[in-house]
């Protein structure tokens, strides 16, 4: 979907101003937001792609007016309600009111370090050989799905060159909606800056993205 997070090339948002010596957390509640998100993610009710799509599904006005961890918490409320772990009544009361679903797993404090170290690998074998090879010219497809996608809006319908052939990875466009992992080959595609940003782009600029195979077609 063309969500509020897809800001590449958009104007009117001002300059990017990195915060010097930025702390890991700006407030104590942000630590708790991260912890609660990780703990509930361990329930096994949703995957990383559904979680990311929930954040990207926030209304643009809500998304842009929220801080990083506010976005996380608002999306987490959405996921917890969707999967039956909390209700609107629970949230209004600040505690459990209605019956709730039972998690598949509960993350214990003693297991956190090992779980974080293990991560959530999403590389998978793909039965078919890679369709494209290094040096081949390709074009990204120009589509605007209503569901999740990892192809940036600014890079759709653009010509580039295969710079690297990666492994097979879970296809987020289906995984986010419970339609299976459907792994595909992933490629690093290199674009000339003018192909992406137009004639006014810095002529020395190049842009690369990692793209799933179904995002690409021969140029």
Mean pLDDT, rounded, for 37-58: 96
Phi-psi region of 127 (alpha: psi -120 to 50; beta: other; left: phi over 0): alpha
The pLDDT mean for the chain works out to 96
| pLDDT at 202 (0 to 100) | 92
Nearest CA among 186, 193, 194, 198 for reference residue 208: 193
Nearest CA among 146, 177, 161, 145 for reference residue 211: 161
Cα dihedral 76, 82, 88, 91 sign: negative
| pLDDT tens digits, 167-179 | 999 999 999 999 9
Share of the chain above pLDDT 90, in %: 94
- Gap between the Cα atoms of 174 and 64, Å rounded: 26
Q: Does residue 16 have a pLDDT over 90? A: no
Mean pLDDT, rounded, for 211-215: 98
Domains of the chain: 28-118 (1.10.472.20), 137-218 (2.30.30.50)
Nearest CA among 201, 208, 200 for reference residue 155: 208
């Amino acid at each position: 979907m063309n969500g509020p997070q897809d800001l590449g090339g958009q104007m009117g948002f001002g300059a990017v101003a990195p915060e010097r010596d930025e702390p890991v957390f700006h407030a104590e509640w942000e630590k708790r937001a991260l912890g609660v998100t990780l703990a509930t993610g361990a329930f096994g009710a949703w995957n990383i792609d559904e979680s990311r799509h929930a954040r990207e599904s926030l209304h643009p006005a809500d998304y842009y007016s929220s801080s990083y961890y506010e976005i996380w918490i608002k999306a987490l409320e959405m996921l917890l309600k969707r999967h039956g772990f909390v209700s609107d009544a629970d949230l209004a009361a600040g505690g459990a009111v209605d019956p709730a679903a039972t998690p598949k797993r509960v993350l214990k404090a003693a297991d956190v370090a090992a779980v974080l170290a293990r991560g959530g690998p999403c590389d998978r074998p793909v039965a078919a050989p890679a369709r494209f090879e290094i040096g081949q010219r390709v074009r990204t497809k120009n589509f605007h799905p209503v569901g999740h996608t990892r192809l940036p809006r600014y890079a759709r319908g653009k010509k580039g060159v295969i710079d690297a052939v990666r492994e097979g990875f879970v296809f987020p466009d289906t995984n986010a909606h419970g339609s299976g992992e459907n792994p595909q080959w992933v490629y690093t595609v290199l674009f000339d800056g003018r192909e992406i940003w137009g004639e006014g782009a810095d002529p020395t600029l190049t842009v690369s993205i990692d793209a799933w195979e179904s995002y690409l077609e021969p140029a």
